[in-house]
Structure 1
Amino acid sequence: MPSIDLSRYEPKARKAKSTVERPGLNEFLNRDITFGRKELSDKKKEYLYLELSSLLEAGIDLKSSLDLITADQKNSKDKKLLISIQSKVLNGSSFSQALQESGKFSLYEIFSIQIGEETGKIIEILTDLATFYQNKMKQRRKIVAALTYPIVVLATSLGAVFFMLKFVVPMFGDVFLRFGGELPWITAKIIAFSEWMQSYFYYFLFFVICIAVLTSFSRNSILFRKISSLIILKIPVIGNLVQKIYLARFCNSMRLLINARLPLLRAISLTKQMIGYYPIENSLSKIEDDILKGKSLNQSLQLFDIYPSKMAMLIKVGEETNQLDYFFGKLSEQYIEEVEYKTSTISSLMEPLIIIFLGIIVGLILIAMYLPLFKMSNSF
Structure 2
Amino acid sequence: MPSIDLSRYEKKKVVKPSKNTDGEGGLLALLNRDISFGSKELNDKKKEHLYLELSSLLEAGINLKSSFELITADQENQKDKQLYQTMQDAVIGGTTFSQALQQTGKFSLYEVYSLQIGEETGKLIEVLQDLAKFYENKIKQRRKITSALTYPCVVLTSSLGAVFFMLKFVVPMFGDVFKRFGGQLPWLTEKIIGVSQAMENNFWRFVLFTILTISFILFTRKTEKFRKIFSGLVLRTPLIGNLVQKIYLARFCNSMRLLINAKLPLLRAIALIRQMIRYYPIESSLQKVEDDIMKGKSLHESMQQFKVYPSKMIQLVKVGEETNQLDYFFGKISEQYISEVEYKTTTLSSVMEPLIIIFLGFIVGAILIAMYLPLFQMSNSFQ
Q: Give the TM-score band, short-chain normalised.
A: over 0.9
1:42: which partner in 2? 44
State the match for 1:4 in structure 2: 3
Of 225, 230, 240, 2:232 maps to 230
Counterpart in the other structure of 1:260: 262
| Cα deviations by residue, 1:154-173 (Å, 9 ceiling, x for unpaired) | 00000000000011100000
Measured in 2, the distance between the counterparts of 1:305 and 1:25 equals 43
C-alpha spacing 1:135/1:8, structure 2 compared with 1 (3 Å)? farther
Correspondence for 1:311: 313
Cα 1:196–1:357, aligned 2, differ >3 Å: closer, same or farther? same
In 1, Cα distance between equivalents of 2:45 and 2:353: 30
**Larger displacement relative to structure 2 (21-30 or 213-222):** 21-30
Query: What is the match of residue 135 of structure 1?
Result: 137
Alignment of 1:240-255 (within 5 A): 240-255=242-257
Partners of 1:315 and 1:221 in 2: how far apart?
Answer: 31
- Aligned pairs, number: 370
5 Å-filtered alignment, 1:147-162, equals 147-162=149-164
2:52 maps to amino acid: L
Cα drift, residue 51 of structure 1: 0.4
Counterparts of 2:29 and 2:233, CA distance in 1: 31
TM-score (norm 2): 0.94
1:294 to 296, 301, 323: 296
CA deviations on 1:217-244 (whole Å, 9 max, x unpaired) are 2221111111110110010110000000
**Greater CA drift, 305-314 or 32-41:** 32-41
Contact 1:29 1:144 in 2 (8 A): no
Extract unaligned runs of 5+ from structure 1. 11-19
The answer as to whether partners of 2:234 and 2:240 remain within 8 angstroms in 1 is yes
State how far apart, in whole Å, the 2-side matches of 1:310 and 1:363 are: 47
Q: How does 1:114-193 map to 2 (within 5 A)?
A: 114-193=116-195
SS in 1 for 2:253: helix
The CA deviation string for residues 225-280 of structure 1, in whole angstroms up to 9 with x for no partner, is 11110110010110000000000000000000000001111111111111110110
CA distance in 1, matches of 2:346, 2:28: 16
Query: Aligned partners of 2:192, 2:28: CA distance in 1, in Å?
Result: 39
Amino acid paired to 2:175: G
The residue number in structure 2 matching 1:221 is 223
Aligned partners of 1:213 and 1:74: how far apart in 2?
A: 37
State the shift of 1:361 in Å: 0.6
Select 1:322's aligned residue among 307, 321, 324.
Answer: 324
Cα distance in 2, alignment partners of residues 210 and 70 from structure 1:
45
Q: Partners in 1 of 2:379 and 2:307 — Cα distance?
A: 63
Measured against aligned partners, the alpha-carbon deviations of 1:313-344 in whole angstroms (never above 9, x if no partner) come to: 00000000000000000000000000000000
Is the 8 Å Cα contact of residues 53 and 127 (structure 1) preserved in structure 2? yes
Distance 1:226 1:21, change over 3 A: farther
Contact 1:150 1:347 in 2 (8 A): yes
**Contact residue 45 and residue 139 of structure 2 kept, 8 A:** yes
| CA apart distance, 1:5 | 3.6
Shift of 1:31: 2.3
Question: In the TM superposition, what is the alpha-carbon distance from 1:3 to its structure 2 partner?
Answer: 2.1
Which consecutive segments of 4 or more residues in structure 1 shift more than 6 A? none
Q: Quick one: which of 72, 75, 85 aligns to 1:73?
A: 75
**1:61 and 2:63 correspond:** yes
Q: Secondary structure at the match of 1:113?
A: helix
> Which shows bigger deviation, 24-33 or 109-118?
24-33
CA contact (8 A) 1:6 1:54 kept: no
Unaligned runs of 5+ in 2: 10-21
SS at match of 2:180: helix
Contact 1:3 1:51 in 2 (8 A): no
d(CA) in 2 for partners of 1:95, 1:133: 19
> What is the identity, as a one-letter code, of the residue corresponding to 2:3?
I
Kindly state the Cα deviation for residue 35 of structure 1 after the two structures are TM-superposed.
Answer: 3.8
Quote how far apart the aligned CAs of 1:24 are: 5.0
CA separation in 2, counterparts of 1:193 and 1:25? Answer: 41
- Whole-angstrom CA distance in 1 between matches of 2:227 and 2:193: 40
Distance 2:219 2:54 in 1: 37
The residue type equivalent to 1:306 in the other structure is V
Cα contact 1:43–1:137 (8 A) shared by 2: yes
2:14 alignment partner in structure 1: none
Q: Residue 34 and residue 281 in structure 1: after superposition, are their counterparts in 2 closer, same or farther (change >3 A)?
A: same
Shift of 1:112: 0.3
Distance (Å, rounded) in 2 between the aligned partners of 1:97 and 1:31: 28
Report the identity percentage: 69
State the secondary structure of the residue aligned to 2:329.
Answer: helix
Give the aligned residue type for 2:264. Answer: L
CA distance in 2, matches of 1:331, 1:40: 28
**What residue number does 2:34 align with?**
32
Query: CA separation in 2, counterparts of 1:318 and 1:238?
Result: 30
Whether the 8 Å contact between 2:41 and 2:106 is mirrored in structure 1 is: yes
Counterpart in 2 of 1:96? 98
Q: Does 1:84 align with 2:86?
A: yes
